[in-house]
């Protein structure tokens, strides 16, 4: 049996995999303990503010705030469509937002979508 750590939606799980076929013994049920997921990385902060990065490639479906708007932590600021699903992109902290993208723009992973200062 070989053990692997698999990451699904940012959560890590430890799984045991046994080879099937040949002279391998019959599979046995093995309890698997979930691994505590690692904390999400903190948003990149610098002298110019906290960058809001795209978690994955997609299409900016909607911009919910205007430049100069005061936002609260976890307030939705953009809607990013990926794989036909709408994903709210939220403010990682309180502050004043500067949006770096427009509705209809295609973005790549880790693109700077906005800066909150």
Q: Where are the domains of the chain?
A: 1-39, 45-116
Residue 69 contacts residue 91 (beta carbons within 8 Å):
no
Residue written as tokens 């948003």?
Answer: 43
Strand-pairing partners, residue 13, are 6, 34
Q: Which CATH class is domain 45-116?
A: mainly beta
Element containing residue 71 per DSSP (H, E) = strand 70-71
How do residues 67-116 score in pLDDT, each as one tens digit? Answer: 999 999 999 999 999 988 999 999 999 999 999 999 999 999 999 999 99
Q: Which of 38, 32, 30, 31 shows the shortest CA–CA distance to 12?
A: 38
pTM assigned to the model: 0.60
User: What is the number of other CB atoms lying within 10 angstroms of the CB of residue 1?
Assistant: 11
For the cut 60, the answer to whether the pLDDT of residue 27 exceeds it is no
């Amino acid at each position: 049996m070989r053990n692997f750590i698999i990451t699904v939606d940012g959560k890590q799980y430890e799984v045991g995999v046994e080879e099937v076929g040949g002279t391998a013994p019959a599979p046995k049920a093995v309890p698997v303990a979930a691994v505590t997921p690692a904390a999400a990385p903190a948003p990149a902060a610098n002298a110019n503010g906290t960058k809001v990065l795209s978690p994955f490639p997609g299409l900016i479906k909607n911009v919910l705030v205007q430049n100069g708007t005061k936002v609260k932590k976890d307030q939705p600021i953009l809607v990013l469509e990926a794989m036909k699903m709408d994903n709210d992109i939220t403010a990682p902290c309180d502050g004043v937002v500067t949006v770096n993208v427009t509705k209809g723009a295609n973005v790549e992973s880790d693109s700077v979508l906005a800066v909150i200062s």
